[in-house]
Amino acid sequence: MLTFRSVAAFLFIHTIVSTGLSETHRFEPKVFYNTFSGAHPPALRIKPGDSVNTYTIDAGGKDAAGAQRGRGPNPETGPFYIEGAEPGDTLVVRLLRLETNRSTGYSGSLLAPYSVDPGFLRTEALREAKQLTWQIDKQKGVATLEPGDYKGPRLELPLRPMLGCIGTAPANNAAIPTSYPDNFGGNMDYNGMGAGVTVMLPVFEPGALLFLGDGHARQGDGEVTGGAIETSLDVDFSVDLIKKKRINWPRLENSDFIMVLGSSRAINEAMQHATTELMRWLMADYAFDERGASLLLGQAMEFEISNVVDPEFTIVAKMRKRFLGR
């Protein structure tokens, strides 16, 4: 049984399914997918309450040993079929552990077109894009890059492992490329998608069909170079299921915030999706009416830019838990 506050609030009107006989599964991926789709056969069937220990390969398809196991972009581990999940339910995924599992990662070296003024690209920007290799020191908890292909000081940044992609199978039998985010989740590239986060995803297909991939050693807001420090990750997660609880966009929770991720090609529309869903969450589960939720959002809401480089952009609407009166 989960203990985080938002799910506790759901218990008054919804049921979290759990058999009481939870298992931990070790899953060794054999096939990786480049679409989020209900057409892919389940890789593993699990029950609400179960945990999974597995791994992802990097965005270009290489594993921890550097072997080519899939093709880019963003080959996904899964899909995981959750017993009892039906359209209209909410899948709850807790990211228990994310760790880098090799000594290198790679990134782009120039700003992506949508993250910088067009005039800069036309008249000032470099034309030669390079892929640079970062050294990952898991023991020290840092990623480093030495001058050579760039001018400037040595870069040393703390590791912050995260999943660029997590999502369920989309509605209407769609097959969505793994470069896209949308209401099912997908390639949201949110740098807060790390260990300790709880992710709530809408269920559109029987079994939910959970995919995850696109591991990053760390990433700045917006993913402005078109990628992060791309690498493979070891991943532990658990699942639960909230029956007959329909959500419209992915929801997140950590120790300090409740959050919604909205995505659209138009960044203002992505903000609208995230804000609307956060408003609905406050009204449904935190005892606010529309006016009260509006007042709180107006004075306390925070936004983050998750990505401005994917085919759809992603905005995160956030509310600090300490303002929720519980």
* 30-72 pLDDT per residue, tens: 999 999 999 999 999 999 999 999 999 999 999 999 999 999 9
This prediction's pTM: 0.93
- DSSP letter at 276? H
Domain that holds residue 133: 104-158
In a domain, 129, yes or no: yes
DSSP bridge pairs for 108: 131
The closest alpha carbon to 32, from 208, 213, 173, 186, belongs to 213
Tokens at 187, concatenated: 């390639």
The closest alpha carbon to 237, from 65, 57, 2, belongs to 2
In a domain, 227, yes or no: no
Whether the CB-CB separation of 51 and 13 falls below 8 Å is answered with: no
Number of domain units in the chain: 1
In a domain, 318, yes or no: no
Average pLDDT value for residue range 281-300: 98
pLDDT tens profile 291-320: 999 999 999 999 999 999 999 999 999 999
Provide the CA 273 distance to its chain's centre, in angstroms.
17
In a domain, 147, yes or no: yes
76-82 vs 181-182, strand pairing mode:
unpaired
Q: What does the CA dihedral 270, 116, 227, 317 come to, rounded to 10 degrees?
A: -30
